[in-house]
Structure 1
Amino acid sequence: MKRADILVIGGGIAGVSAAARFAPRAQTLLLEREAALGYHASGRSATFYHFGIGDTIVRGLTAASRSFFTDPPDDPDAPPLSQPKSAMFFATTETMDQLRALETEMRRFSDDISAIGPADMLAIVPPLKVGEEGAVEGLLDTGGRKLDADLLLQTNARLLRAAGGEICFNAGVTGIAHDGSGWIVDTAGESYAAPVVVNAAGAWADELAAMAGVRPLGLTALRRTIIGFDPPPGLAITDWPFLKTVADDGFYMLPDAGRLLASPMDVTPSPACDAQPDDYDMALAAWRVEQATTLTVDRIALKWAGLRSFVADKVPTAGFAPDAPGFFWLAGQGGYGLQTSPAMALAAEALLFDLHWPDRLAEQGVRPHHLRPERLFG
């Protein structure tokens, strides 16, 4: 039986970034069921840093994460974890109230926000339909960043290993139990023991808790679809921003490697699984792009889907389970797991080791009670 101080279960961005912070303080092993990090949600995200999603706590976590993306604690000669890219949010006449509310929230966390009208929006994204039948007003966030999901995963993995931590692949959990002094975690190939288990299993986090006899959080996994298509020949898209409607029944679109990626922002409930794109959702993404712009989606060149896991209040959860000693939750990252991962890892470190609450989080209005699982159980 392999022993450690902390076992982190789940090799998405939540698990690997937290493990990288734990490892300098305690012997840490990360168990990943797949053969690579970020196989599920973390590797299937549009990976964009912006303030257009989540509530005030999520935006605070996003703001507190920025320095890691711009100045990571790794090899200074390594490729950057992110690139500057603006985000643009737009409203129709029916959704102006939502745009006003979003502007108020975004200005709390960024000085890079400006209101723009139809002419400016058209200059930034020429195919966008503007006026009475389209976008009437928008917000431009010049502080947005395009994140490199794979590089984020690998950077955290390097930090974890450099501190003496270890990653075990193909280590799906088959059993987990408390023996009175610590946790025993069984996998197909080996068993592991540690006083602390960190449940960072994403969409499978509640299933893992049930296996351990721990009260679940009530996670809901929602499928999200992304398609990729080629722009018209000769249309320069490289400098386009991340474009998003303020309405939930809209879409987002962004340039990536010469193509345009788009999502209908679908929220279809799903069991924990290897999510696959649905034909209807792919068609919906194409239709919404064509409704809001003059673009046509003649052929879908890329397609994928991933699961976004939420608890009831849609705020990520970190902290020890109130009903199980040494069982630590790190779950419910929703659709903002990548852009909040540095702050969530910092919070998890403070809560797990009972450290002084980080100033970086407090300054953004994020406090321990916002994240701890007790808030979900009344």
Structure 2
Amino acid sequence: MTRADVIVIGGGIAGISAAAHLAAHMDVLVLEAEDRPGTHSTARSAAIFIRNYGNATLRALNAAAAPVLEDPGEGFDGGLLSPRGEMLLAAEEELPALEAYAEGATGLERLSPAQAAELVPILRPERLAAAIIEWDAQDIDVDRMLGGYMRRLRRQGGRVETGARVEAMERSTGVWRITAGGRDFEAPLVVNAAGAWASQVGVLAGAQPIPLTPMRRSAALLPAPGDRALAQWPLFGSVSETWYAKPDAGKLMVSPADEDPVEPHDAWADDMVLAEGLDRYEQAVTVPVTRVETSWAGLRTFAPDRTLVAGFDAQAEGFCWLAGQGGYGVQTAPAMAALTEALVTGATPALAPQVVAALDPARFAA
């Protein structure tokens, strides 16, 4: 029986960052189902920090995470952000969606179709009615981010057990006993950061039912359109989220922005969904898609209100949720890790009380 003060289930960026924070106070063990941390959603992220992404609660988390992403401190070799920008495009029928996105947002600049085409020369300005750009959107170095939190965790004595998919959980005499990967573990506290599998872990624990839905997001890597240099292009896409594109190491990553509900699994791209998304992208640009170099998919897991779930369960003692990251998991991880640290140690969260309440799993108690 391997023992710890707290067991974190899930070795993605959410679980590893939370574990690194907790390891400053207690003995921490991370259980990761795969053979290495960060295998699923973390490794397949679009890897961009967008301050205005998400609802009001998410934007508060983005603001709290920004200083850490800029200067993460011990365990890291510098900041994790680099310039990119995000430009959202609207046809005439999408103008209401553009206005809805801009409402309550900060740091946006409105662009004419011609100005948008100056930034991304392959765009068809005649298909655009308007555009907005967030200049402060930045690329995130996800590999360095995960590696930095892993170093911090291990330097503080934290451990990671790979190949440890949770099979059974029970609580007795104030202690959780977990069987994972044929091995036994125990701790008085559990943090459920299992991503697409978080609802399943909650069922094993006898926790309150929380309706978390994994949704597939596909992407394809294309050659640089017309052999253009893409380094200075922003991420660009439809404000209605029917497609988006982002420069990636001299090539162009294009996603159909799909959100198809699926069961938790090692996701792959659906060829038909990908083809439909690439067709929508082609209609907006002057250069046709001639070759897909590679494609992949990841899972984004959402609660019904599209807000993350963080806090202790109402009916499973010593069971803390850190789930429902959706498409925000990487960029909110520093804020959510600090919140988990505060909740587990009994400290006062740095986030505003209304933000903490909006994340609380108690909102699903009914």
Shorter-chain TM range is: over 0.9
Greater displacement, 268-277 / 97-106: 97-106
- TM-score normalised by the chain length of structure 1: 0.94
1:233 is displaced (CA, Å) by 4.1
1:356 is displaced (CA, Å) by 1.3
Q: What are the Cα deviations for residues 77-135 of structure 1, in whole angstroms up to 9, with x where unaligned?
A: x264221211111111111111112112222xxxx32111112101100111113xx12
5+ long unaligned stretches in structure 1: none
CA contact (8 A) 2:229 2:250 kept: no
Matched, 1:210 2:203: yes
Matched, 1:2 2:6: no
Report the equivalent of 2:274: 282
Matched, 1:377 2:365: yes
Report the equivalent of 2:14: 14
1:232 is displaced (CA, Å) by 3.3
Query: Partner amino acid for 1:175?
Result: A
Cα distance in 1 for partners of 2:203, 2:275 equals 37
Greater displacement, 6-15 / 112-121: 112-121
Alignment length, in residue pairs?
Answer: 366
Cα distance in 2 for partners of 1:124, 1:188 equals 50
Matched, 1:335 2:327: yes
Q: What are the Cα deviations for residues 152-171 of structure 1, in whole angstroms up to 9, with x where unaligned?
A: 11111111111111111111
Report the equivalent of 2:136: 143
Matched, 1:90 2:80: no
Query: Partner amino acid for 1:101?
Result: A
Query: Partner amino acid for 1:315?
Result: T
Task: Output aligned runs, 1:306-321, within 5 Å.
Answer: 306-321=298-313
Report the equivalent of 1:119: 114
Cα distance in 2 for partners of 1:52, 1:276 equals 28
Report the equivalent of 1:195: 188
Query: Partner amino acid for 1:312?
Result: P
1:295 is displaced (CA, Å) by 2.1
CA contact (8 A) 1:172 1:188 kept: yes
CA contact (8 A) 1:60 1:366 kept: no
Report the equivalent of 1:129: 124
Cα distance in 2 for partners of 1:102, 1:204 equals 30
Query: Partner amino acid for 1:50?
Result: I
Cα distance in 1 for partners of 2:92, 2:344 equals 47
Cα distance in 2 for partners of 1:327, 1:335 equals 24
Instruction: Find 2:158's aligned residue among 158, 165, 169.
Output: 165
Seen in structure 2, the aligned counterparts of structure 1 residues 162 and 147 have a Cα distance that, compared at 3 Å, is: same
Cα distance in 1 for partners of 2:146, 2:37 equals 7
Seen in structure 2, the aligned counterparts of structure 1 residues 52 and 252 have a Cα distance that, compared at 3 Å, is: farther
Q: What are the Cα deviations for residues 135-186 of structure 1, in whole angstroms up to 9, with x where unaligned?
A: 2211111111101112111111111111111111111112111113210011
Report the equivalent of 2:253: 261
CA contact (8 A) 2:75 2:152 kept: no
Greater displacement, 80-89 / 196-205: 80-89
Q: What are the Cα deviations for residues 40-96 of structure 1, in whole angstroms up to 9, with x where unaligned?
A: 1111111111145321111111121111111111356x2642212111111111111
Query: Partner amino acid for 1:136?
Result: A
Matched, 1:242 2:235: yes
Cα distance in 2 for partners of 1:366, 1:342 equals 19
Report the equivalent of 2:345: 353
Cα distance in 1 for partners of 2:50, 2:174 equals 43
Cα distance in 1 for partners of 2:195, 2:75 equals 29
Cα distance in 2 for partners of 1:202, 1:236 equals 36
2:247 match: secondary structure: strand
Task: Output aligned runs, 1:54-65, within 5 Å.
Answer: 54-65=54-65
1:216 is displaced (CA, Å) by 2.4
Runs of 4+ in 1 over 4 A off after TM superposition: none
5+ long unaligned stretches in structure 2: none
CA contact (8 A) 1:312 1:376 kept: no
Cα distance in 1 for partners of 2:37, 2:80 equals 16
Please report the RMSD computed on the Cα atoms of aligned residues, expressed in angstroms: 1.4
Matched, 1:185 2:178: yes
CA contact (8 A) 2:60 2:355 kept: no
CA contact (8 A) 2:220 2:254 kept: yes
Report the equivalent of 1:368: 356
Report the equivalent of 1:34: 34
Cα distance in 2 for partners of 1:192, 1:268 equals 35
